Structure 1
Amino acid sequence: MSKYIFVSSPLEQFEIVTLLPISIAGVNLSLTNASFFMILALILSSFWLSLSFYKGSLIPTNWQLIKESFYEVTANILHENLGAKGELYFPFIFSLHLFLLFCNLIGMIPYSFTVTSHIIFTFSLALSIFIGVNIIGIQTHGINFFSLFLPRGVPLIIVPLIITIELLSYTVKVFTLSIRLFANMTSGHTLLKIIAGFAWTMLSAGGLLAVFHIIPLGLLVALIGLEIAIAALQAYVFTLLTCIYLNDVLDLH
C-alpha cells in the first residue's frame, strides 16, 4: 500500500472562515475567524489591564509591573515624538499599541488566527488613522495645513511638480504603514508553517530522515522566539509611525 503524506498549504492559516453566518436585510454581518480574534484580542487586553489594577499597591505586583512598563514605553513614544502636545492623544495611542500587540501575540498561538496578517485589516486601520490625522491637522491649522505640501522658497515654475511629489509622498504613508505590518506578520507565519511542515514530513518519512528532523525542529523553536519579538516590535513600530505622522500635522515645518 502506498504511503501518502499530506501537508497543508502554508497559506491555509490565513484563510478567512465564517463561524456564525448572520445576514440582516441582505447585509452580511457574519462572524468570521478574523472578527472573532479581534474581539478576543480586545477582551484579553481589557482583562490584562484589569489584572494590573487588581489589588494595586505601592509595591507593584507582577501584573502591575508589566502594565506600568508597557505604559512607560508607550508614554515615551508619545513624549519623544509629540512632547507635551501629545498628551491629549495618549488614550488612543495606548489603546492602539495594546490592541496591535495582543493581535500579534494571539496569532502566535497554534491554530489561532493572525488578524494583522491580512492587508485589508492593516490598510483599513492605517487609512482610518490617516484620515483622523488629517482632520486634526485641518482643525489645528485651518487653511495653513496645506502649506505642508509646498515648502518655503520654492520657485514658482516648479510649484506644480513639488506639490505633486509632496502629495504622493504624503499619501503613500498609508501604504507603507499598512504593508510593513502585514508583510512582516505574513512572511513570518508562512516561514514557520513551511519549516514545521518540513519537520513533520521528515518525521513521518521514518528511517534516517526521522532522526534528522530535530534540525528543522530546533530551527523552528528559534524562529518562534524571533517571531514573538517581531510581533512586539511591529506593534511598537506601527505606534511609533502613527505618532510621527501625527506630529507632522501638529507641527508644520
Structure 2
Amino acid sequence: MSAAAEVKIDPMHQFQIESLGGSVLDGTPFHFTNSALWMLIVLGSILLFMWGGMKRDLVPGRWQAAVESVTGFISGMALTNIGPEGRKYTPWIFTVFIFILFSNLMGMMPFGIVDAAHPFTVTSQFTVTGVLAVISFSIVLIVGFWKHGLHFFSLFVPHGTPGPLLPLIVPIELISFMVRPFSLALRLFVAMIAGHILVHVFGYFIVNGINSGTPMGYGISLISFIFIAGVNALELLVCAIQAYVFALLTSLYINDAVHLH
C-alpha cells in the first residue's frame, strides 16, 4: 500500500468533543473537554483585549483605539437599530459580538502544527450557538411582554392586514418569529463548520498529492494550496461577518420587542 493510500480523510474529527481527563473531576459526571478548554482560552483572550483598552489616555494608543472602535461600533449599531433605548441592550449585543468574533478567529489560528494544541472552534458546535440564540430570543420575549403585556401579540398582525387574511397571516408571522432562534444559531454553526471542512479536505489533497510523487500529484497539491489560501482569506472575512450578522439580527429582534414594528 502506498503512503498516499494510507492517508484517510476525516474532516469531522476536528469537531469531536473529547474529554481531557483530570483527577479533580474523577468520580463525577462532569468532564473537562477540549471545547471547555478553548472556551476558556477565548474568554481569556477577550479579557486581555479589553484590559488593554481600559486605559484612558488623552492620546489613545493602537490597543486602546482598537477597543474603543469596537465598543463604539456596537454602541452605534444598538442606537441605530433600537433607538435611545438601545443603550440598555448594548452590553449583551457587545457580548455576543465579541465572543463570536474571538471564537471564530481562535479556531483559525495555526496552532495545529502542534498536535496537542489543535485549535477547536467552539462556534462550530450547535449547542454553543444555540445557547447564544436562546438567550437573545429570551431577552426579546422578556422585553416584549414586560413593556407591552399581551399587546405584544400584535407583533404578529402586520399593519393594514385585511380581516379575511388574518387567519392565514397570523400563523405565518408566528412561525417565522418562532424559528428565529433556530435560524440564528444554524447560520453561524453552518458557516463555521463548512469552511473548516473545506480546508481540511483540501489539506489532505495536498498531502496525498505530494506523497504520490507524480507530476500530476504535485500539480493537484499546488492547486489545492492556492485554494486553501483563498478559503482561509475568505474564512477570516466570514468570521467577522458572522459575528456582525448575529449581533445585528439580535439588535433588530430586540427592536421588534421594544417598538412592535
TM-score computed with the length of structure 2 as normaliser = 0.88
Query: Could you report, residue by residue, the CA deviation over 1:67-103 in whole angstroms, capped at 9, with x for unpaired residues?
Result: 1221122122112201211001111111111111111
Distance 2:88 2:162 in 1: 38
Partner of 2:211: 204
Which of these residues, 241, 247, 251, is aligned with residue 239 of structure 1? 247
Residue in 2 that maps onto 1:88? 88
State the match for 1:20 in structure 2: 21
- The farther-off stretch of 204-213 and 112-121 is 204-213
Q: Structure 1 residue 150 and structure 2 residue 142: aligned?
A: no
- The equivalent of 1:117 in structure 2 is 124
Could you tell me the percent identity over the aligned residues?
36
Q: Which amino acid aligns with 2:10?
A: S
Offset from partner CA, 1:91-129 (integer Å, 9 cap, x none): 111111111111111111232011111222212221221
Paired residue type of 2:249: L
Moved more, 3-12 or 141-150: 3-12
Matches of 1:14 and 1:185, distance apart in 2: 11
Q: Establish whether residue 130 from structure 1 lines up as the match of residue 131 from structure 2.
A: no
| 1:34-88 Cα shifts (integer Å, max 9, x gaps) | 122122211110111112225x412211111211221122122112201211001
1:7 aligns with 2:8: yes
CA 1:5–1:243 in 2, change beyond 3 Å: closer, same or farther?
Answer: same
Query: What is the Cα deviation at residue 152 of structure 1?
Result: 4.5
Q: Over aligned residue pairs, what C-alpha RMSD do you find?
A: 1.9
Distance in 1 between the 2:178 and 2:228 partners? 38
Moved over 6 A (4+): none
> Which deviates more from structure 2 when the two are superposed, residues 144-153 or residues 63-72?
144-153
Structure 1: unaligned runs, 5 residues or longer: none
Partners of 2:135 and 2:193 in 1: CA distance: 21
Amino acid at match of 1:124: V
Q: 1:71, 1:150 → 2: CA distance?
A: 35
The residue type equivalent to 1:77 in the other structure is M
- Range 183-192 or range 161-170, more displaced: 161-170
TM-score (norm 1): 0.91
Q: Which structure 2 segments of 5+ residues have no match?
A: 113-117
Structure-2 residue corresponding to 1:230: 238
The one-character-per-residue Cα deviations of 1:214-250 (angstroms, maximum 9, x if unpaired) are 2211221221111011011100100000000000010
Question: Cα offset for 1:153?
Answer: 5.0
CA–CA separation in structure 2 for the residues paired with 1:152 and 1:197: 55
Residue 100 of structure 1 corresponds to which residue in structure 2?
100
2:176 to 169, 173, 189: 169
- Change in 2 beyond 3 A, CA 1:141/1:58: same
Q: CA deviation at 1:208?
A: 1.5
Aligned partners of 2:7 and 2:204 also within 8 Å = no
SS at match of 2:231: helix
SS at match of 1:84: coil
The answer for the alignment partner of 2:41 in structure 1 is 40
